[in-house]
C-alpha cells in the first residue's frame, strides 16, 4: 500500500452482512456531517426531546427514563445491570450465548450474586425453566436475559420470560441490542424494568450509542439504593437530569452531538417506514436467504420456530474452509459476514440482515458471491 499516515483515510466500500455494524444509510451519514452545536444549545435540547419520543415509540414504552448512553451496546448493558444491582443482590441470568455470559460478568463485577441458568447454544431461553429456577431461589431480585442472541441467531420469548419473573416478584433486565427495529420489543406490555439496545444493529447507525429505558419502578428502586452506582458516568439518576429534566438541563457530560444527529435520522427513517413494515422487511429478507441457502445445501443452526430474521446462524458445509471463504467474500466481493463465536467457532457463519442490510438485493448479492467463494475453494 502506497499511503502515508497523514493521507486522509478512505475506507473500502463494504456490504455489511455480519453481526453488526450494519449498512448505514447515506442520509444518516449526511446528518452526522452537519455542523456541531453546543450540547446545551436549545436547538440541541429540542433534538434530544424528539429522540426520546422516537425511542419511546421504538421501545413501545411510556417510560420517562428513555434516552441514550454514550457508548456501544455493552455500555447499555453496564448501565442497566450496574444501576439495578447492589452488592449481595441475587440475579438470575438466563444464558444461551455470548451476551448472557457477558451480562453475568458485568453483574458479578457489580458485586451481585449470579444465579446462572444455562441453555444449549442455539436454543432459546425457556420461560418454564426460569419459573422453576425462581421457585427454587426465592431471594432472587432480578432476572436478566438476552432477547435476540446475536451469537447464535436465537429469539427468546420476552413476554413469557418477563411473566415468569413477575410471578415471583423479580424485576427484569432485557438485552434488546439486536432486537430493536428488527423484531417487536414491547417494553410496557411485557413489563420490562430495564432494557438496552445499540445503534449499529437493526437501527443502521454507526456504533457508539446505546438506547436505554427504565420503568418507573426501576427508577424508584435506583433512587432508593443503599450504595452508590459503581459507575459515575452511567449513574442513571444523573444522566436523566441531563436528558429528561424539566426546564434547565444540568451539565453531566458532553453528549456525542453528531452521533445523536445520526440516530435522529435513523429513527426518523424507521418511523416513516413504520415499525411493522420494518419487521416484515427483515422477515422477507430472511425467508429469501433461507430459500437461497437451501439451494446451496446450507442448513440453519437454529430450529425454525426460534430463528432470528436479522441474524442467521448457518452451518458451514463439511470440507469448506471457513476463514478462506470469509476472506474471499471480503476481499473479492466486498461482503462481510460473521464467524462463529465460542463453541460455534469454525462451525457456523453468522449472516446479519440488519436494518438497511435486510433487503432482497443484498441477499441476492451474498448468495451469488457465497456460491462462487465456495466453488473457488472446491476447485
Contact residues: ligand PLP, CB under 6 A:
20, 72-74, 77, 99, 146, 148, 150, 175, 177-178, 198, 207
Find, among 226, 178, 228, 224, the residue nearest to 203 by Cα: 178
As measured in angstroms, the least distance from the Cβ of 204 to ligand PLP is 14
Residue nearest to ligand PLP (CB): 73
Cell numbers found for residue 273: 417506514
How is residue 209 annotated by DSSP? Answer: E
User: Which residue lies nearer to ligand PLP by CB, 20 or 278?
Assistant: 20
User: Which residue lies nearer to ligand PLP by CB, 19 or 218?
Assistant: 19
Alpha-carbon distances of 118 from 133, 155, 164, 217, 221, rounded to whole Å: 11, 15, 16, 28, 27
User: Which residue lies nearer to ligand PLP by CB, 74 or 238?
Assistant: 74
Q: Using the Cα atoms of residue 345, residue 351, residue 354 and residue 356 in order, give the sign of their dihedral.
A: positive
As measured in angstroms, the least distance from the Cβ of 65 to ligand PLP is 20
- Residue linked to cell 452488592: 87
User: Which residue lies nearer to ligand PLP by CB, 66 or 197?
Assistant: 197
As measured in angstroms, the least distance from the Cβ of 148 to ligand PLP is 6
As measured in angstroms, the least distance from the Cβ of 92 to ligand PLP is 18
User: Strand 148-149 vs strand 140-146: parallel, antiparallel, or unpaired?
Assistant: unpaired
As measured in angstroms, the least distance from the Cβ of 207 to ligand PLP is 5
245 CB-side CA count, 13 A: 14
User: Which residue lies nearer to ligand PLP by CB, 176 or 255?
Assistant: 176
As measured in angstroms, the least distance from the Cβ of 252 to ligand PLP is 21
User: Which residue lies nearer to ligand PLP by CB, 159 or 168?
Assistant: 159
As measured in angstroms, the least distance from the Cβ of 355 to ligand PLP is 13
CB 217 within 8 A of CB 192: no
CB 149 within 8 A of CB 97: yes
Find, among 105, 129, 99, 103, the residue nearest to 117 by Cα: 129
User: Which residue lies nearer to ligand PLP by CB, 47 or 198?
Assistant: 198
Contact residues for 338 (Cβ-Cβ < 8 A; gap 6+): 18, 19, 349, 350, 351, 352
Classified as helix, coil or strand, 104 is helix
How is residue 9 annotated by DSSP? Answer: P
Find, among 67, 70, 76, 28, the residue nearest to 356 by Cα: 28
As measured in angstroms, the least distance from the Cβ of 257 to ligand PLP is 20
Q: Tell me how crowded residue 304 is: count the other CB atoms within 10 A of its CB.
A: 7
User: Which residue lies nearer to ligand PLP by CB, 309 or 367?
Assistant: 309
Cα 173 to the center of its chain, rounded Å: 13
Amino acid at each position: 500500500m502506497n499511503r502515508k499516515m497523514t493521507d486522509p483515510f478512505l475506507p473500502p466500500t463494504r456490504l455489511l452482512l455480519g453481526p453488526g455494524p450494519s449498512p448505514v444509510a447515506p442520509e444518516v451519514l449526511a446528518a452526522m456531517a452537519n455542523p456541531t452545536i453546543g450540547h446545551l444549545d436549545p436547538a440541541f435540547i429540542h433534538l434530544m426531546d424528539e429522540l426520546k419520543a422516537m425511542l419511546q415509540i421504538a421501545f413501545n414504552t411510556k417510560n420517562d427514563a428513555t434516552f441514550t448512553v454514550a457508548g456501544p451496546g455493552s455500555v447499555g448493558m453496564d448501565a442497566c445491570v450496574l444501576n439495578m444491582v447492589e452488592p449481595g443482590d441475587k440475579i438470575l441470568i438466563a444464558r444461551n450465548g455470548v451476551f448472557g455470559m457477558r451480562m453475568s460478568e458485568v453483574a458479578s463485577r457489580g458485586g451481585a450474586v449470579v444465579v446462572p441458568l444455562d441453555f444449549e447454544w442455539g436454543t432459546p431461553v425457556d420461560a418454564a425453566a426460569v419459573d422453576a429456577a425462581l421457585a427454587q431461589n426465592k431471594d432472587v431480585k432480578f432476572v436478566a436475559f438476552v432477547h435476540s442472541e446475536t451469537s447464535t441467531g436465537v429469539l427468546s420469548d420476552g413476554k413469557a420470560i418477563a411473566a415468569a419473573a413477575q410471578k415471583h416478584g423479580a424485576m427484569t433486565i432485557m438485552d434488546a441490542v439486536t432486537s430493536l427495529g428488527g423484531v417487536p420489543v414491547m417494553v410496557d406490555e411485557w413489563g420490562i424494568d430495564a432494557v438496552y439496545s445499540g445503534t449499529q444493529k437493526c437501527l443502521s447507525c454507526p456504533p457508539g450509542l446505546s438506547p436505554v429505558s427504565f420503568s418507573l419502578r426501576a427508577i424508584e428502586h435506583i433512587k432508593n439504593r443503599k450504595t452508590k452506582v459503581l459507575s459515575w458516568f452511567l449513574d442513571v439518576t444523573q444522566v436523566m437530569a441531563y436528558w429528561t429534566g424539566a426546564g434547565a438541563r444540568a451539565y453531566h457530560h458532553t453528549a456525542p452531538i453528531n452521533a445523536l444527529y445520526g440516530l435522529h435520522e435513523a429513527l426518523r427513517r424507521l418511523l416513516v417506514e413504520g415499525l411493522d413494515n420494518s419487521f416484515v422487511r427483515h422477515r422477507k429478507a430472511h425467508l429469501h436467504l433461507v430459500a437461497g441457502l437451501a439451494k446451496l445445501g446450507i442448513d440453519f443452526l437454529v430450529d425454525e420456530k426460534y430463528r432470528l430474521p436479522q441474524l442467521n446462524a448457518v452451518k458451514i458445509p463439511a470440507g469448506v474452509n471457513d476463514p478462506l471463504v470469509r476472506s474471499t467474500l471480503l476481499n473479492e466481493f466486498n461482503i462481510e459476514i460473521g464467524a462463529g463465536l465460542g463453541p460455534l467457532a469454525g462451525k457456523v457463519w453468522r449472516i446479519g440482515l440488519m436494518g438497511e442490510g435486510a433487503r432482497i438485493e443484498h441477499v441476492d448479492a451474498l448468495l451469488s458471491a457465497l456460491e462462487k467463494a465456495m466453488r473457488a475453494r472446491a476447485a
